[in-house]
């Protein structure tokens, strides 16, 4: 039951962040292509850090 509560909080936070992105884009006044570029750069950096800090974040690829 505790895992379900943790999952609900994580999903709620993810949806809050995901839903607020549009508002921040509109408020920033930046061109859409620039916003997409920076989101991709930040996402790539975050993914790189996650992979480096995790022991085995993904299972090994097999044939």
Read off the pLDDT of residues 21-45 as tens digits, 9 standing for 90 and up: 888 888 888 898 898 898 899 999 9
Query: Is residue 57 scored above 70 in pLDDT?
Result: no
For residues 54 and 44, is the Cβ–Cβ distance under 8 A?
no
Alpha-carbon gap, residue 26 to 29, rounded angstroms: 6
Query: Is residue 55 scored above 80 in pLDDT?
Result: no
Alpha-carbon gap, residue 44 to 56, rounded angstroms: 18
Domain ranges of the chain: 2-53
pLDDT at position 63, please?
Answer: 62
pLDDT at position 37, please?
Answer: 92
Reported pTM = 0.57
Alpha-carbon gap, residue 6 to 14, rounded angstroms: 12
How many other CB atoms sit within 10 Å of the CB of residue 25?
16
């Amino acid at each position: 039951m505790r895992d379900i509560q943790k999952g609900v909080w994580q999903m709620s936070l993810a949806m809050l962040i995901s839903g607020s992105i549009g508002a921040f884009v509109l408020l920033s006044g930046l061109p859409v292509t620039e916003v997409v570029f920076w989101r991709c750069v930040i996402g790539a950096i975050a993914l790189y850090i996650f992979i480096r800090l995790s022991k085995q974040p993904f299972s090994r690829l097999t044939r």
